[in-house]
Amino acid sequence: ITFGSFNNLAKINDRVIDVWCRILKKVPESKLFVKNPSLTDPDTRERYLEKFKQSGIEKERVNLIGHTPTRNEHLLLYRNIDIALDTFPYNGTTTTCEALWMGVPVIALCGKYHAARVGASLLTAVDRCEWVAYSEDEYVNKAVELAEDSILLESNRMEQRNRMKASSLLDSKGFVTSLENEYQRIWEDAHK
């Protein structure tokens, strides 16, 4: 199993690394794939490898990738990931949508503020509430349980894009209709 994250490196704090290492320790022979343009810099890569080592994960289990020249190359790298791990307390947005679009499930930790609830919001919109955790322990358990379900991982890879297309997340017409209705209601309330 390969876990992964393409989130902004600034979101990958020591607490996130600690929790990710707990997951890696519970899933034997699993690896972590992290991609971010900042990791093109050798010193930055070494600094992050050292952080994982301090949390008990040897560098052979962590693959840090930097910049890719094209968007297509970037998206194709999702083939190397079985399960995406969202960052916290600042969740991913674009990276969560990319992972889902490429058929990769995302485990997200729901927090108290907007930036910490984006993952939960996106997963709810694509009817994947089962991947939302409300504590670090639950986040770890959900990632481990999903890693143990190879049948679900395979079927998800095949059907997630169609599921996403059919979801409220990509229902732009429905969104605009709801927004227009709300504007109409507000206008009517203002003119009573």
pLDDT tens-digit profile of 4-16? 999 999 999 999 9
pLDDT tops 90 at residue 76: yes
Structure tokens that stand for 170 in this block:
């990509």
Query: Is-contact 33 4, C-beta < 8 A?
Result: yes
CA separation for the pair 64, 33 (Å, rounded): 6
Tens of pLDDT along 32-68?
A: 999 999 999 999 999 999 999 999 999 999 999 999 9
pLDDT, tens only, 134-172:
999 999 999 999 999 999 899 989 999 999 999 988 888
**Nearest-CA neighbor of 125 among 165, 83, 177?**
165
Alpha-carbon gap, residue 57 to 26, rounded angstroms: 11
Largest CA-CA distance found in the chain, in angstroms, rounded = 68
